[in-house]
Amino acid sequence: MLLHAALAYGVLARAAIAAKEIEKAAALTSRYLKLCSDNGIYEYFRLRSAYNPILEFAYCRGIETEFTARMMEFVGYRPKKAYAETLGAFTVYQDRERKKIVKFRTKKERELLAFLLDAGDCGATKEQISNAIWRDSESGNIKNLIAVNLRHIKNDLEVAGIKESVVCRENRYFICRDEIECDFELFERAYEEFKLNNAAAQVRELLSLYKGEYLSDFEALWATAKKIRYHEIYEKAKKSLR
């Protein structure tokens, strides 16, 4: 019975968070975490895609702080420190509340960061980076340009408290996403949920996240497929309201 009650509150809390019903979400989250704490119910939190949003919501609002910190350590979850907007103009914020913008030195540095975020877990080689971003460059030392801009990205993201933002494995470069939230990832997740149940909450989330064409301030051929796909999803969500 306790398991069923806790699960129910967890589902309701997750739905309220997704719908941005803050007061309701806070009450449900508090009740859910209290039930789990009092009854030693920890295993749900291993389902990170479902319960990370609850932990992050609780962490940001000081709800059941001791238990929340314990569960975050239990599942190895680190709260996001920065937020990247890619739907519309590319903007990176130092904080989840999106009040302070990370300032980058050049447009090429911004585009390189956007490209590596887009590449995700696949990462990119120096050749791929060169072809995507410095295709028309007349410089005789593209590798040096790439190295300099990667170093600038590392330095500029340290403002948001991210110490290891760029990693290199087997000659491929990756942006460490553990501490960066991306709107396109939230958009993809909301769309998957929308396909399953066509719920109004997911429609609202899709429409609120889509602030314009994907990476609209870059003339980036490498982003074309996602530009088209995300616009089609947005149009589909709009039509579902009719």
pLDDT tens-digit series, residues 147-178: 999 999 999 999 888 988 999 999 999 999 88
Mean pLDDT taken over the chain: 90
Q: Residue 1 above 60 pLDDT?
A: no
The answer to whether residues 179 and 81 touch, using CB atoms and an 8 Å cutoff, is: yes
pTM of the model: 0.75
Specify the 3-state DSSP secondary structure of 169: strand
Classify 85 in phi/psi space as left (phi over 0), alpha (psi -120 to 50) or beta.
beta
Decide: helix, strand or coil at residue 20: coil
Burial, 222: exposed, middle or buried (Cβ in 10 Å; 0-12, 13-18, 19+)? buried
- At 84, give phi and psi (nearest 5°): -110, 125
d(CA 204, CA 224): 25
Tell me if 79 sits within 8 A of 56, measured CB to CB: yes
Q: Mean of the pLDDT values across residues 65-78?
A: 88
Q: Is the distance from CB of 107 to CB of 113 less than 8 angstroms?
A: no
Residue of 92, 215, 113 whose CA lies nearest to 159: 92
Integer Cα distance of 133 and 87 in angstroms: 19
Q: How far is CA 13 from the centre of its chain?
A: 20
Residue in the structure block whose two tokens are 């975490």: 33
- Residue from 34, 37, 44 nearest 7 by CA: 44
Instruction: Give the other-Cβ count within 10 Å of 30's Cβ.
Output: 16
Q: What are phi and psi of 173, to 5 degrees?
A: -105, 140
Digit-coded pLDDT (tens) for 180-234: 989 999 999 889 988 888 778 788 889 999 999 999 999 899 999 999 999 999 9
CA-to-CA distance for 32 and 54, rounded, in angstroms? 9
pLDDT, tens digit (0-9, with 9 covering 90-100), for 110-153: 999 999 999 999 999 999 999 999 988 887 799 999 999 999 99
Q: Tell me which amino acid residue 160 is.
A: A
Q: What is the pLDDT of residue 3?
A: 61
Distance from C-alpha of 41 to C-alpha of 3, rounded to nearest angstrom = 8
Residue 79, pLDDT score: 75
Give me the pLDDT at residue 149, please: 97
Is the CB of residue 156 less than 8 Å from the CB of residue 103? yes
pLDDT digits (tens, 9 = 90+) for 19-58: 878 899 999 999 999 999 999 989 888 887 778 889 988 9
Mean pLDDT value across residues 235-240? 92
Q: Say whether pLDDT at 107 is over 60.
A: yes
